[in-house]
Amino acid sequence: MKKISQLYSTSVGKKLLVAVTGAIMYGFVVGHMLGNLKAFAGPSALDQYAEMLRQIGQAFLGNGTFLWIARIVLIVAVIVHVITVIQLVQRNSRAKPTRTVRRRNASTLAAKWMAISGTLILIFIVVHIAQFTLGWFTPHAAGTEGFVHGAVYSNLWGAFQLWWVALFYVAMMAMVCMHVYHGAWSMCQTLGLDAPDRNAAIRGAAAAIAIALFVGFSAVPISMLTNSIQSPTDDSSMTEAFEPDGSSESSRSKEGAG
Amino acid sequence: MSQDHDQKTITVSVRVWRQAQGEKGGRFVEYEVADTPLEASFLEMLDILNESLVEKGEDPIAFESDCREGICGTCCLVVDGLPHGPSQCTTCQLQMRNFEPEAKITIEPFSTGAFPVIKDLIVDRSSLDRVIQAGGYITVHSGPKPEPNSVPIEHEIMEDALDASACIGCGACVAACPNGSASLFTSAKIHHLALLPQGQPERNTRVKKMVEAMDDEGFGSCRNYAECQASCPKGISIKYIGRMNSDYIKATVLDTDRRGSMHAT
């Protein structure tokens, strides 16, 4: 505890906390993206996957306990990350040049936009949890099912039939992509893992993972908006040609969604 | 660059930050400097301007310089918004032939949160000295010294330490940093000692004290923009910042202080 407070008292130590909490969230985001790809295996595959997440460690912790541990760790990580960054920003605004100094274009756009992308991601996290976890804010296209707890695929489908919801998600994923590109490299530098002989590889890996996250996350909203994957109502008919109008009719007649 | 070969002089107009000693604010004053020889350095152009100001009975522009050979780190001007000007060298190594005829040049001090302006273009950079005082030294015993070659140092490591020791402490890294961070300076000063055998006994206490001193002086934190590296007249790499971070973490988290903290009290 003394060491943590000692670390927290200096800017380098604060940056270490930002890097470690960032790494926790980075791990979560990569896992979340890979989990989302279950959508391409069909509605029931995604819903079963979501149910499986609740059941991790069920044998010794009981249902949903592990999920709550993970949630608490992530919430604490977000809070520590944001508060520490705000403190660093306050320090930096006191220390910054008092006259306008031009940049030599050494910094990337991602680096310059860290505060913007970070703030937007924070807003996005709130909206995203309110929309798909809590079901407080559930815009959905006319003719689709409303929000049903546990009906993950159908909930996504209803929301992403709306172009502006899909656009918001894709735009926010671009922010995540930028934030984690600078964040991942910056984390390596802060933890002192960076070295000239590894720098190119670390930068390359940071860029590759950031792009993979953008593509992986955007795939679901875009393919749902363009009706290029299954509608939630024809789970078993993978081979059948899909007609959006017909499926809206049938989903209206059904109660709940699989 | 597109100078006429026959032309031997250049006329420029400069916008200079003037700030009276002891005052908070300042203002830009424009001067025309006519017929400066092309072979003049940028600081010599300011000397010529100052001579004319003294002749007119005006207060000359206060700016710092010493060796004018690019090795002492005293000169510190922000030229057209760039610390040390458009070329990657110290301000004194900037030449008038680098400018177009009739150029309008803006000259400002290296002023940041930790570098308050003293007068005109002179800033107080003693904050950097205090970071050095906190731990940028090695403790040697008095009495007979060992034969230097009895301590072998691998060539690559020696070169690495020499690269770090190239820092002349001009403060361009601080002036270039959007956060006014002295991380590049501090990490270079830590690592030209930490890489060598002589720097090992105080390695952990050094990094802790210097990082703490850097914070106490009000420098900002590093956000890995790498602007410092691009502005450093000695081309010092940000790899030293990464090493400073890892050394600091090792010293604090692992707390492996080998000989205990030494206080000269």
What is the per-residue pLDDT for A253? 41
Residue A69: domain span: 8-98+107-253
Tell which residue, A107, A105, A96, has the closest CA to residue B110.
A96
The count of other CB atoms within 10 Å of the CB of residue A107 is 19
Q: Are residues B15 and B130 in the same domain?
A: no
| B131 shares its domain with B39 | no
- Residue A197 in any domain: the answer is yes
Q: How far is B141 from chain A (nearest CA, A)?
A: 31
Question: Do residues B115 and B171 lie in contact, with contact meaning Cβ atoms separated by under 8 Å?
Answer: yes
- Going from the C-alpha of A83 to that of each of A8, A17, A78, B30, the distances in angstroms are 12, 10, 9, 45
Average pLDDT over residues A105-110: 84
pLDDT at position B45: 96
Query: How many beta carbons lie within 10 A of that of residue B153, not counting itself?
Result: 15
Give Cα A176 to chain centroid, integer Å.
7
Question: Does some domain include residue A3?
Answer: no
Q: Count how many domains chain A has.
A: 1
Describe the strand order of the beta sheet including B82-83 as a list of residue ranges: B27-37, B9-18, B104-109, B77-79, B82-83
Based on the domain organization, do B201 and B164 belong to the same domain?
yes
In a domain? residue A87: yes
Domain end point (choices B69, B88, B119):
B119
Fill in the amino acid letter for B215: D
Considering the domain architecture, whether residues B30 and B145 belong to the same structural domain is answered as no
How far is residue B54's CA from residue B36's CA, in Å, rounded to a whole number?
17
Look at A3 and B255 and tell me if their CB atoms are within 8 Å.
yes
A6 vs B36, higher pLDDT = B36
* C-alpha to C-alpha distance for B178 and B184, rounded to whole angstroms: 13
Task: Name, in order, each residue with C-beta under 8 angstroms of A54's C-beta and a sequence gap of 6 or more.
Answer: A63, A64, A67
Question: Who's near A205: CB < 8 A, 6+ residues apart?
Answer: A184
User: Going residue by residue through chain B (265 aa), what tens digit of pLDDT does each one get?
Assistant: 555 556 789 999 999 999 999 888 899 999 999 989 999 999 999 999 999 999 999 999 999 999 999 999 999 999 999 999 998 899 999 999 999 999 999 999 999 999 999 999 999 999 999 999 999 999 888 888 888 888 899 999 999 999 999 999 999 999 999 999 999 999 999 999 999 998 988 898 999 999 999 999 999 999 999 999 999 999 999 999 999 999 998 888 776 555 555 444 3
Q: Which domain holds residue B58?
A: 9-119
B226 in any annotated domain:
yes
Which A residues in the span 10-29 are in contact with B, Cβ-Cβ below 8 Å?
A: 10-16
Q: Which of B84, B228, B252, B253 to mutate to probe the A interface, most A CBs <10 Å?
A: B252
pLDDT category of residue A79 using cuts at 50, 70 and 90:
very high
Give A31-58 pLDDT, tens digit per residue: 999 999 999 998 989 999 998 988 888 8
- Beta carbons of A99 and B178 less than 8 Å apart: no
Q: Evaluate whether B182 touches B236 at the Cβ level (below 8 Å).
A: no
In whole angstroms, give the CA distance from residue A86 to residue A83. 5
Quote ipTM for the complex.
Answer: 0.84
Q: Among A216, A114, A111, A226, which residue's Cα sits nearest to residue A173?
A: A216
Closest CA to B262 of B129, B139, B128: B139
CB contact A3 to B (< 8 Å): yes
Same domain, B140 and B85: no
Spatial separation of the C-alpha atoms in residues B25 and B18, rounded to whole Å: 9
* pLDDT single digits (tens) A193-208: 877 778 889 999 999 9
Q: Are residues B141 and B248 in the same domain?
A: yes
CA A201, A207, A210, A211 torsion: positive or negative?
negative
pLDDT, position B258: 54
pLDDT digits (tens, 9 = 90+) for B58-90: 999 999 999 999 999 999 999 999 999 998 899
Residue A221 sits in a domain whose CATH number is 1.20.1300.10
Residue pair B193/B247 in contact (Cβ under 8 Å)? The answer is no
Residues of B in contact with A15 (CB under 8 A): 221-222, 245
Domain-located, residue A1: no
pLDDT number for residue B33 = 94
Asked whether the beta carbons of A119 and A82 are under 8 A apart, the reply is no
Using an 8 Å CB-CB cutoff, list chain A residues near B225: 103, 106-107, 111-112
Q: Quick check: B112 and A96 CB within 8 A?
A: yes
Supply the pLDDT for residue A256. 38
CB A224 within 8 A of CB A211: no
pLDDT value at residue A148:
85
Dist CA A95 CA B111 (whole Å): 10
**pLDDT tens-digit readout, A146-183:** 788 888 998 999 899 999 999 999 999 999 999 999 99
Do B204 and B92 fall within a single domain? Answer: no
Show which of residues 57-116 on chain A sit within 8 Å of chain B, judged by CB atoms. 88, 91-92, 94-107, 111-112, 114
Asked whether residue B107 falls in the same domain as residue B134, the answer is no
CB atoms < 10 A from the CB of B220, how many? Answer: 29
Distances in Å between the alpha carbon of B36 and those of B32, B42, B45?
Answer: 10, 10, 6
> Residue B181 and residue A189: Cβ atoms within 8 Å?
no
Give the pLDDT confidence score for residue B263 in this predicted structure: 44
Domain boundary among B81, B104, B119: B119
Nearest to B215 among A11, A107, A185 (CB): A11
Q: How far apart are CA B109 and CA B78, in angstroms?
A: 6
The residue from B104, B119, B134 where one domain ends is: B119
